Amino acid sequence: MKIRTLHAELWLPQPMDAVFAFFGDAANLDAITPPWLDFRILTPRTIVMAAGTRIDYALRLHGIPVKWQSEITAWQPPHYFADEQRRGPYRHWAHRHHFEAADGGTWVRDEVEYAVPGYFLEPIIHRLFVGPDLRTLFTFRHAKMHEMLGADETGPAPHLVLGVKKTDALAASAPAGYHAREKSDPRSAKT
């Protein structure tokens, strides 16, 4: 299974507590998800966010209805939380959200490790669908967060990197316009 990574960074001119609170309200996921995904949260509201919380969603990927369940696997306000797909379209999905106060605002840093289904068709599925979809999703998400949390044009520009966690040869095969970056996996480090 090929694990790929997506790194996204966005600076917002809001205090870290306020930015984390925005993410801590699951209803805001509706607002920062592109309408073309027809995204709906199925879990009854109000959702209390904590490690162990599971959230069910319905969405459409290229017109195909998909059910998705994620679990909050770490919850450390206002610095960090993580979620993992328990059921859904990916072979693997682990999303880590980091928040850091800086320059009178907050850096929001996302790291997503994911594996695409398809076995020998995986590179094609990623190149044609998953890679471009994730890039579009996070670009939309950044624009909405700028709009909703009052970002200004003086802050740093959003930064998005989509790559693979494999050899340089695989990293070099990332689609045009993507910056592939090899990243070590701390879980594999020997202690």
Q: What is the pLDDT of residues 158-187, one digit of tens each?
A: 665 655 554 333 333 333 333 333 333 333
Burial degree of 114 (CB within 10 A; 0-12, 13-18, 19+): buried
Distance CA(162)–CA(157), nearest Å, equals 16
Q: Estimate to the nearest angstrom the gap between the alpha carbon of 6 and the chain centroid.
A: 7
Cβ–Cβ under 8 Å, residues 146 and 129: no
The backbone torsions φ and ψ at residue 139, rounded to the nearest 5 degrees and listed phi first, read -65, -45
Distance CA(156)–CA(10), nearest Å, equals 8
Query: Which ranges constitute the DSSP H helices of the chain?
Result: 16-24, 28-31, 122-125, 131-148, 168-172
Q: What is the pLDDT of residue 187?
A: 32
Q: State the pTM of this model.
A: 0.80
The domains of the chain are located at: 4-184
Look at the domain 4-184 and name its fold: Alpha-D-Glucose-1,6-Bisphosphate; Chain A, domain 4 (3.30.530)
Distance CA(139)–CA(191), nearest Å, equals 38
Question: Which pLDDT tens digit goes with each residue over 83-119?
Answer: 999 999 999 999 999 999 998 899 999 999 999 999 8
Question: Which pLDDT tens digit goes with each residue over 35-50?
Answer: 999 999 999 989 999 9
